Structure 1
Amino acid sequence: MNNQDPLAQLKDIHLPETGGWWPPAPGWWLLAALCLIALIALVWFGKRHRKRTLWKRQAKAELERLRQRACNEPKWYGELNRLLKRVARQRHADRHPESMTGAQWVDFLLETLPKDRIASRPTAEALVAAAWQPKSALEPRNALAFASLWLEAQL
């Protein structure tokens, strides 16, 4: 071996050390920012949706509560009518259903009912009148069936 040979003095090739995992490349920062923005937007839209549909969940819960304590008393029929009016006010605010009474309220209920309008007229009339009569001819289960049908169409 010749000490004068410059090629003999060279050392083997060594690869540089890896950069490690921190700090990430700019593309990863951008991806993390986009994921964070998407998560914030998802939470915001979820809360907004829950807030906008709160009245629907409350109406279903109120109907179930009325179903559990169904009785043939004017107070109970009045509560059922108030529930229907609250839902009508949410769905049809432009028609001002909260101010409707008697035949006008019955007509409104039947107009917004999707099916069986003619067959449901006696039930709707009896439901509206039951809040003022000491004993109603309408059975609570029939009133609940009509209210459930009407609420399903509105919710």
Structure 2
Amino acid sequence: MSAQLPQDRLPLRDIHLPPDPSWWPPAPGWWLVLALAVVLLVTAYLFYRRARRARIWRARVLHEIRQLADRHAHDDIAYATALHQLLRRAVWRYSAGAHHLQGEPWRHALAQVPVDDATLDTLMTLEARMYQPHAQFNRTAVEEAAHRWLHAAWRRMKPQERGHA
């Protein structure tokens, strides 16, 4: 006769589960998600910085145009001269010899920035007003044309040149 042990008295222990996986190092998929998040954050920061610089630059230019208009409120010749000098500083980015151009070469230097002919014609009245006291001059139209030209010039500038305007 063989001895049989009852089922409840067997010396067996319960199944041992392996330990929970460690949180470090993360799985390769998490590394990809982290890398993508870093790239997206850096890209977003660069776009934000670029847009912020553009806003600051536009505000500075508008402020300078307003200051010129206020400073020379009753003197069209001085206003035309000051606005013309502002444009010459901006054209210098496209044409190194623009500081001495007049007439059609000056118009050609301004035309390097893609603006319509009406804007160029309006800006050319600055030169006429500076040297001819009785030349036709519309302050509002000239101010708007200068703003349009400067805005178009800003869009065309290379990023490393923007800080100098």
Which residue of structure 2 aligns with residue 11 of structure 1? 13
1:1-155 to 2 correspondences below 5 Å: 2-3=4-5, 8-21=10-23, 23-25=24-26, 27=28, 30-31=31-32, 34-35=35-36, 38=39, 42=43, 46=46, 50=50, 54=53, 57-58=56-57, 61-67=60-66, 70=69, 71-73=73-75, 74-90=77-93, 92=94, 95-103=95-103, 104-110=105-111, 112=113, 114-117=115-118, 120-121=120-121, 123-132=122-131, 137-154=136-153, 155=155
Q: CA contact under 8 A between 1:72 and 1:140: conserved in structure 2?
A: no
Q: CA contact under 8 A between 1:62 and 1:83: conserved in structure 2?
A: no
Cα 1:108/1:80, change in 2 over 3 Å: same
Pairwise CA RMSD: 4.1
Q: For residues 150 and 56 of structure 1, what CA distance do their matches in structure 2 show?
A: 16
Deviation of 1:81 after TM superposition, in Å, equals 1.5
Q: CA contact under 8 A between 2:126 and 2:137: conserved in structure 1?
A: yes
Partner of 2:10, secondary structure, is helix
Q: For residues 112 and 36 of structure 2, what CA distance do their matches in structure 1 show?
A: 47
Question: Normalising by the residue count of structure 1, what TM-score does the alignment of the two structures yield?
Answer: 0.61
Tell me the number of residue pairs that the alignment of Structure 1 and Structure 2 aligns: 145
Q: For residues 130 and 136 of structure 1, what CA distance do their matches in structure 2 show?
A: 5
Cα 1:63/1:134, change in 2 over 3 Å: farther
TM-superposition CA deviations, 1:102-134 (whole Å, max 9, x none) = 2131343256453235x853x333212334556
Cα 1:86/1:55, change in 2 over 3 Å: farther
Question: Normalising by the residue count of structure 2, what TM-score does the alignment of the two structures yield?
Answer: 0.58
Query: Gaps (5+ residues) in structure 2?
Result: 156-165
